[in-house]
Amino acid sequence: MSSFKAWIWALRPKTLTASLVPVLVGSALPLVEGYEVNWRISFYALASALWIQIGTNLFNDVLDFKKGADNEERLGPVRVTQSGLLSPRQVMLGGILSFGFAIFFAIPLVLMAGQVILVIGVLSLLFGYLYTGGPFPLAYKGLGDLFVILFFGLVAVGGVYFLQTGTFHEDALIAGFQTGFLCTVLIAINNLRDIEQDRKVGKKTLAVRFGERFTKREILFLYVFSFILLPYWWQRGVWAAALFPLASLPLVFSLLKSLWATPPGVVYNQFLAKASLIYLLFGGLLFSGFMIS
């Protein structure tokens, strides 16, 4: 494999919808309140968010390898450090450089919105590294799910909404929970796939701590509450945002049926792809609902 292709693998482009969806949702949400959307602001926010996620992916790649979580028994996609495609030093430097790009794109946002965005940015960078790094790695303590709900849901949507409006609103809280819950499904399926390997190396994800049945119920909970929140948009008078995401329900039912009938294993990579599609579809439909509000 060429060095260029190895770096593309390392960036994990298929995962980057995790940053795209909340920025789109947070950008269109102000239209519900009658604000105009400044898409230049959204571009900077998206660019910064993408580079934070890329940096987090790279740190995750090298640190999971060093901790023994990524080894020859791995069931998921190729990891460049574990496979020897890139050296640990290269991947670590790539993570640092990615965070540098994230800071660069965040500068106009901080100059415009001030301390609130500065705090959000610093915390996002810090916890991006602490997800698998530092003395208390979140992913190894069962806090990865909470991290995703917080940063890929509430912080991302709320932060972009604040950039567009200068205020906070409960609308951003509801939309943040919806995107955060759906994104967390991806982490839960990933952890369920790797439950045995993680148990061996002491990576105490929720799946390892509480078992397969608990994690499947967690996934069900995350989906149910994402859809239960849809009537909120109906009572807010945004009927399209309440109805459009329902189109993703057949995929959810199909995924849950397969998940319940299948023990953890390599087939969960297919489930992960379907969950990613659901996340992108639901988020895109919610975004469309806000756009025509």
Look at residue 250 in the predicted model and tell me its pLDDT. 97
Residue 119 sits in a domain of what CATH number? 1.10.600
Region at 202 (left for phi over 0; alpha for psi -120 to 50; beta for the rest): left
Q: Which residues contact 135 (CB under 8 A, 6 or more apart)?
A: none
Look at residue 72 in the predicted model and tell me its pLDDT. 66
Separation of alpha carbons 178 and 191, rounded Å:
20
252-292 pLDDT, tens per residue?
Answer: 999 999 999 999 999 999 999 999 999 999 999 999 999 99
Task: Tell whether the model's pLDDT for residue 71 goes beyond 70.
Answer: no
Chain-centre distance for alpha carbon 95: 17
194-203 pLDDT, tens per residue?
Answer: 999 899 888 9
What mean pLDDT comes out for the span 206-229?
A: 97
Q: What are the strands, taking DSSP E only, across 58-166?
A: none
Q: How many CB atoms lie within 10 A of CB 114?
A: 11
> What is the model's pTM?
0.93
Higher pLDDT, 53 or 134: 53
**Local confidence band at 1 (pLDDT 50, 70, 90 cut-offs):** low
Please give the C-alpha separations between residue 293 and each of 177, 220, 236, 238, 240, in angstroms, as whole numbers. Answer: 20, 29, 10, 6, 7
143 φ, ψ to 5°? -105, 5
CB 124 within 8 A of CB 177: no
Q: Show the domain range for 81.
A: 3-291
Look at residue 6 in the predicted model and tell me its pLDDT. 87
Domain count, the chain: 1
